[in-house]
Amino acid sequence: MGQALYRAYRPKSLSEVSGQEPITTALSRSLQNGTISHAYLFTGIRGTGKTSIARIFAHEINGLPYEDESTHLDIIEIDAASNRRIDEIRDLRDKVHIAPTSAKYKVYIIDEVHMLTREAFNALLKTLEEPPAHVVFILATTEVHKLPETIISRTQRFAFKPYDLSTVTAHLKFIAEQEKITITDEALELIAEHGEGSFRDSISLLDQVRNTGEKITLADVQTVLGIAPKELIAQIIQALSSHDPVALSKGLTALSDGGHEASQAAKQLGTALRESLLAGKSALGHDILMQLLPRLIEVPGSADPKSYLEVALLDAALSDAGAKITPTKVMHEAVQAKPAVQVEPHPSTFRKTEHHIPKSPTDTPAKKGTAAPLLESVDSPASIPSDSAITLDASVWPTILAAVKAKHNTLYSIVRATSPAFTPGNLTLTCGFAFHQKRLNEKRNKQMLGELIQQTTGENLQITCVVGEVGPLPEPTGPPPLPPADQEVSHSVTRTPAATPPPAAQNEAITAISNIFGGAEVLES
């Protein structure tokens, strides 16, 4: 049976260790000067050489040659994950007083020391406080924050840094040449990147892909590691940026068909979005991006990573879809335009109100005999009473969407991607994907949607969800229309004439300013 590459290419002396020069230099000088401490603490992520350097240092302290398979009675390795109880540490404490059998020092290497119990730490502390002169402790851990400060303060601590990409790539190339592995530079760089700064993990990945072909290419490594092509990740990000849920779902389907795991895809998407943000090239709004990134991190830990990833991305794609005006542009237009309205602050605070202005003069006018739309408090529920005589057809769908979005954003991201069809007493929602149909048919979601429709329209509809071709997606409107003027209204409102709506550009400016600075009472000039 052949030896694993990461074991075959372990360094055998401190001088052979690369990438941790500050640590190996300090240890080498302590050997030369005879200033050996009684306890050392090696910390850092996995695969950065903590255990290898501990073994090398233990042998060089005693002037012994080191080989990977070499063992010595006076060099004792303890796995704290398997020997974490107080009994094992008490046994160690009793034996440290026994002199070395043949070496100068008895060296205890305790790996993953953070796994010890509190009682075991207390027992170890006693030994570290008053150690015998012939004993040296080397503690190694990947989670130093779990160690008591009393332990850390009694050791010399060395922090092992992750290896940079170029160092790992060069080392992998050296090993490939020695092992006569034909592999492209792009494939080596991807292996090093996937190793995340760990020599051991990177070398193990090279060992895994070495038999995939006579010449290993980037595509071979991507297949073995389950990494999605960069072109597919870019396609999904483009669909996000253009707020296109259909293209987004097609990209996710391509991920699934290609056998790429949702957890790995989420990681790739998070990395790509972060890089575009830092480079100032992100087409997504910062608010949407900062909400999406934490959700991508949560994908691997979710019960259903594939569904969680799809909902998170659809939610981001449908958030603020179609919003084109930036705050800077809105403020400029608002200042340049002749003001038709003015915002009047309260002496101590703004009164939370929100205006409802048609998007253009072609919007449906108020019915004859009814008052103009009123300014509604954002704290009051947006609903239409059952006696307002609304004809349930496609024209009411944006109003329903607005109510769903205000109540449940995740449900909105699914409902938003459907096509509605109204018949007396019924609503049929056509879903583009079976996953959306399944989610909408869940009892909780269907009940919530039915209640919101009833609150908004006054009608109790039977909801049916089917899979089919989805038409163009409408935009949600602002708050739904309010009751006629002759109906009693419990909250304070200000009436606004509806005869001549303001220009469309001015409407957009007012709406955006209100969104930026909060609602305020809009008065006539």
DSSP string across 80-119: TTTS-SHHHHHHHHHHTTSPPSSSS-EEEEEETGGGS-HH
pLDDT at 469 exceeding the cut of 90: no
Once rounded to an integer, what is the mean pLDDT over residues 395-423? 86
Give 415-424 contacts, CB < 8 A, sequence gap 24+.
Answer: 415/440, 415/449, 416/245, 416/318, 416/473, 416/476, 417/245, 417/246, 417/314, 417/318, 417/470, 417/473, 418/465, 418/470, 419/468, 419/469, 419/470, 419/471, 420/394, 422/392, 422/393, 422/394, 422/396, 422/461
Average pLDDT along the chain: 77
pLDDT at 159 exceeding the cut of 90: yes
Once rounded to an integer, what is the mean pLDDT over residues 158-170? 90
Q: Residue 249 CB: number of other CB atoms within 10 A? A: 22
- Is 270 in a helix, a strand, or coil? helix
**How far from 389 is each of 11, 189, 417, 488, CA to CA, in Å?**
82, 66, 27, 17
Once rounded to an integer, what is the mean pLDDT over residues 98-112? 90
Amino acid 127 reads T
445 CB-near residues (< 8 Å, 6+ apart): 411, 414, 439
pLDDT at 186 exceeding the cut of 60: yes
Indicate the pLDDT class of residue 285, thresholds 50, 70 and 90. Answer: confident
Give the rounded percent of residues in the chain with a pLDDT score beyond 90: 17
Give the rounded percent of residues in the chain with a pLDDT score beyond 70: 75
Amino acid 251 reads G
Indicate the pLDDT class of residue 475, thresholds 50, 70 and 90. Answer: low
What is the per-residue pLDDT across 126-148, written as a single tens digit (0 to 9) for each? 888 888 889 999 999 999 999 99
| 47-51, 141-145, 181-185, 517-521: least confidently modelled range | 517-521
Beta partners for 158? 42
pLDDT at 329 exceeding the cut of 60: no
Indicate the pLDDT class of residue 383, thresholds 50, 70 and 90. Answer: very low
| C-alpha–C-alpha distance, residues 283 and 480, integer Å | 31
pLDDT at 347 exceeding the cut of 70: no
Task: Tell me which residue has tokens 């603490």.
Answer: 41
pLDDT at 421 exceeding the cut of 80: yes
Specify the pLDDT at position 11: 86
Indicate the pLDDT class of residue 54, thresholds 50, 70 and 90. Answer: very high
pLDDT at 95 exceeding the cut of 80: yes
pLDDT at 487 exceeding the cut of 70: no
Once rounded to an integer, what is the mean pLDDT over residues 343-349? 41
pLDDT at 495 exceeding the cut of 80: no
List, edge to edge, every strand of the sheet that includes 418-423. Answer: 418-423, 426-431, 462-467
What is the per-residue pLDDT across 222-278, written as a single tens digit (0 to 9) for each? 888 888 888 898 899 888 888 888 888 899 998 888 888 888 889 889 888 888 888
Specify the pLDDT at position 517: 43
Specify the pLDDT at position 513: 44
pLDDT at 28 exceeding the cut of 90: yes
Indicate the pLDDT class of residue 188, thresholds 50, 70 and 90. Answer: very high
Specify the pLDDT at position 500: 44
**Domains of the chain by range and CATH?**
5-159 (3.40.50.300), 165-225 (1.10.8.60), 230-318 (1.20.272), 334-482+492-517 (3.30.300.180)
Specify whether the backbone of 451 is left (phi greater than 0), alpha (psi in -120 to 50) or beta: alpha
> Does 109 or 509 have the greater pLDDT score?
109
Once rounded to an integer, what is the mean pLDDT over residues 454-481? 74
Specify the pLDDT at position 351: 40
Beta partners for 183? 216
Indicate the pLDDT class of residue 2, thresholds 50, 70 and 90. Answer: low
Residue 395 DSSP one-character state: G
Given CA atoms 207, 208, 211, 212 in this order, what sign does their dihedral have?
A: negative
Task: Tell me which residue has tokens 């990134």.
Answer: 293
Indicate the pLDDT class of residue 496, thresholds 50, 70 and 90. Answer: very low
pLDDT at 356 exceeding the cut of 90: no
Cα 96 to the center of its chain, rounded Å: 47
Specify the pLDDT at position 40: 95
Once rounded to an integer, what is the mean pLDDT over residues 381-393? 49
Closest CA to 317 of 422, 380, 420, 235: 235
| C-alpha–C-alpha distance, residues 479 and 399, integer Å | 7
Specify the pLDDT at position 139: 94
| 159-168, 201-210, 253-262, 283-292: least confidently modelled range | 283-292
pLDDT at 91 exceeding the cut of 50: yes
| 23-37, 147-161, 209-223, 382-396: least confidently modelled range | 382-396
Specify the pLDDT at position 143: 92
